[in-house]
Structure 1
Amino acid sequence: MFSAGGDKQLKCWDLEQNKVIRSYHGHLSDVYCLELHPTIDVVLTGGRDSVYRVWDIRSKMQIHALSGHDNTVRSVFTRPTAR
């Protein structure tokens, strides 16, 4: 399970052990939204820093930081591409 919060982080939780197993750092302010990609191991986040970020779930590395919004990013959406 993933959660996003006011601590500027995305967190991945182990629900069986009730603990955080990965933290993703990079947002400069609150993280408001997240979306798991349906077919590849990435998670997308948006926050008050007006940046949309793409993270590699396994390595915790930020793949992309997409700016262009003038204000808070409150939602992100992804869908698989047609094959």
Structure 2
Amino acid sequence: MLSGERALTAAHDGTVKMWDVRTDTRVVTVGRCSSAVLCMEYDDSTGILAAGGRDVVANIWDIRAGKTMHKLVGHNKWIRSIRMVGDTVVTGSDDWTARMWSVS
């Protein structure tokens, strides 16, 4: 959930969308993965969104600037969990590994 009246959703079609919860309307498609998004996390203080899923790539977006920052490649099976702590993104995968990435 974003601060205020906005929410983020992830979908099987690979899209991450922002919605206005007051009007139930889509504000913008924030980004697109090449396959289903299974996990995501957003840091409202920085505007950074991390998402992962079936395409085995952790996608990092700056949603305030409206641009892709990184496509983190290293897993060889689905990414099932993602967590951001400060500048660090941690991903967990069906390949039985967890990886730590620096956003900067």
* TM-score normalised to structure 1 length: 0.88
**Total equivalences in the alignment:** 81
What does residue 29 of structure 2 align with? 23
Question: Which residue, out of 66, 75, 82, partners 1:60?
Answer: 66
Aligned-pair CA distance for 1:47 = 1.3
- Pairing 1:43–2:75 present: no
Query: Unmatched 5+ residue regions in structure 2?
Result: 1-6, 88-104
Unaligned runs of 5+ in 1: none
State the AA in 2 paired with 1:27. Answer: C
Question: CA 1:43/1:25 → structure 2, altered by over 3 Å: closer, same or farther?
Answer: closer
**2:12 counterpart (6, 29, 48):** 6
Once residues 41 and 80 of structure 2 are traced to their aligned partners in structure 1, the CA distance between those partners, rounded to angstroms, is 11
The structure with more strand, counted as a fraction of residues: 2
| Residue 74 (structure 1) aligns with | 80
Take 1:29 and 1:12, find their aligned partners in 2: how far apart are those partners?
A: 18
User: What CA distance in whole angstroms lies between the structure 2 residues aligned with 1:8 and 1:26?
Assistant: 5
Q: How far 1:76 moved relative to its partner?
A: 0.6
The RMSD of aligned alpha carbons is 1.4
Q: Percent identity?
A: 30
Letter in 2 for 1:47: G
